[in-house]
A and B are shown apart, each in its own frame.
Chain A
Amino acid sequence: MMTADELRKKPQLYYDDVEVGQAMPTLVIGPLTPTHLFRWSSAIENWHRIHYDQSFAIYHDGLPNILGQGSWKQSIMPRYLKDLCLPDGWPWKVSFQHRAMIVPGDTITCWATVTGKREQEGLGYADLEVGMRLQNGVESCPGTATIVLPIRGGRPVPYPFVPLKSA
């Protein structure tokens, strides 16, 4: 388990050090508060009341509480993958589903496990199974991702990264 700051400051991850089945460092965020949710709604100008008006969320929409925004999760997952790869790797692509609601009080653990790896034209591609697990073990955002990592002694990952057509 790592904090956001520890994840950002970790040593560079190299393709050589990644094995299929390997669990990546996790990132723990939370417990979330209404302030977190309101701050995100303000930042992206999402004024749907289910994200900041508790009475409306609970009694009008029949929800258990105000809800964490899907767009917030869509920002956290790429940030997590970026922090796994950078400064010299690249979070190439990610796809995940929104399954379970996230509400204030929840603690989220972003996780990734390596499911495949391949070397192409001097770059290391690692496929990942990813998710955002809640404190009760419920998986909120199951999905997959691919990151591109430098190989020790190899060429740098281009910035910005342009995927090979064959990758």
Chain B
Amino acid sequence: MGRWIAIGTAPGWGDIAKFGAELAETSKWRPDPQTTITTVFALGDGRLLAECHAVRQEDFEAWLRQRGWQVESLTPIKHLAKTGSIWKVS
């Protein structure tokens, strides 16, 4: 399985009610059993950042299209530090 980060914008997602409505139900962040949007940040400058765990990048791209994102960049994750632990991702 791979992991990617997408940065972009989506209409209305800066509003927390709309943001919540877009992500509240499981099917909205887990579109199929092998694709999970693990995290979405709404940044203070109006942009969004989403992380996806999926078999193929195309599965993430399909979710981004379906949710109406204008994508600036979509990049695989190599490694990361999280609360003091550093993990290689790919």
Residue ranges of A at the interface with B (Cβ–Cβ < 8 Å): 31, 55-56, 58-60, 62-65, 100-101, 103, 105-107, 134-136, 138
Contact = CB atoms under 8 A, between A and B. Distances in A.
Nearest to B79: A59
A77 B14 CA distance: 42
Given A58-B38, A60-B87, A105 B82 contact: no
A64 B89 CA distance: 13
A144 B1 CA distance: 32
B37 to A, nearest CB: 9
A136 B85 contact: no
Contacts of A56: 85
Contacts of A60: 85, 87
Contact of A59 (B30, B32, B82): B82
Nearest to B81: A59
Interface in B41-90: 53, 80, 82-83, 85, 87, 89
A64 B85 contact: no
B26 A106 contact: yes
B89 to A, nearest CB: 6
Q: Which of A60, A64, A105, A106 has the most chain B CB atoms inside 10 A of its CB? A: A64
12 contacts: A31-B26, A58-B38, A58-B53, A63-B53, A64-B30, A64-B38, A65-B38, A100-B33, A103-B36, A105-B29, A107-B26, A135-B26
A130 B31 CA distance: 25
